[in-house]
Amino acid sequence: MRRVVIFRHGILINRFLMKRLEWLFRSRGYKVHNRSYPTTRKTIKEHAVDLFDELRAVQEFEEQTGGPYELYVVTHSLGGLVFRYALTHFPVPTIRRAVQLVPPNQGSTTARWFNNLPLPIYRWIAGKSGAQLAEAPPGIFEKCGVPDNVEIGIVAGVNGIKLLLPIPLPKPHDGIVTLDETRLGDFPVKELPFNHTPILWRRRTFEEAAYFLENGEFR
């Protein structure tokens, strides 16, 4: 059985920050699709269309290759919202399981704080999808929908170190997203003591994500 995993990174970063995860999944026998996308230049819906197109292309290639295979998805931050929107609005191929790393499923206190600054610096930097992240819930977070045809595991960072000190983040949090903001319905949440972006580089993150993809539960 071929195991194929598609990555979607978060806002203002690129695929290279997920390279360690990519290498670890490849060492586990997964075929990995890890590409950069222009996170700030499109809306979440537009990014979801692109993900849908990629999933269909991967499905077509794997079916032409022959033999059984399964599709998985691993997302980081904004990528989790893109994934949710794609699954609830488009006829995507069957996804066996998915893991969301530190997703702002219920909103982003951090984005709203930056968006409310007197100068429009956040809006210049974060672009279209960043503006959506700064919406007050339910907003885009509800519009993304809750997938009901795939098992999803959520990994939340809870190290309590607030790098952007003025932002009033209730504990526990990963410095950017709070634990409560990651939650989505009844999907299980695994708490790890890492920050929002460094969580991508920790082997324990990979171990928990891979275990969930293979077993439908965290360790």
pLDDT tens for residues 91-124? 999 999 999 999 999 999 999 999 998 888 898 9
pLDDT, residue 142, reads: 98
pTM, 2 dp: 0.96
DSSP secondary structure, 1-43, as one string:
-EEEEEEE--TT--GGGGHHHHHHHHHTT-EEE-----TTTS-
The distance of Cα 114 from the centroid of its chain, to the nearest Å, equals 21
- For residue 208, give the 3-state DSSP assignment: helix
pLDDT tens for residues 44-76? 999 999 999 999 999 999 999 999 999 999 999
- Residue 165: pLDDT band (50, 70, 90) is low
**Which residues have CB under 8 Å from 29's CB, separation 6+?**
3
pLDDT, residue 120, reads: 87
List the domain boundaries for the chain. 2-215
Preceding amide of 138 cis, omega within 30: yes
pLDDT at 164 over 80: no
pLDDT tens for residues 121-144? 898 999 999 999 999 999 999 999
Bridge partner list, 157:
192
CATH of span 2-215: 3.40.50.1820
On whether the CB atoms of residues 83 and 171 are closer than 8 A, the answer is no
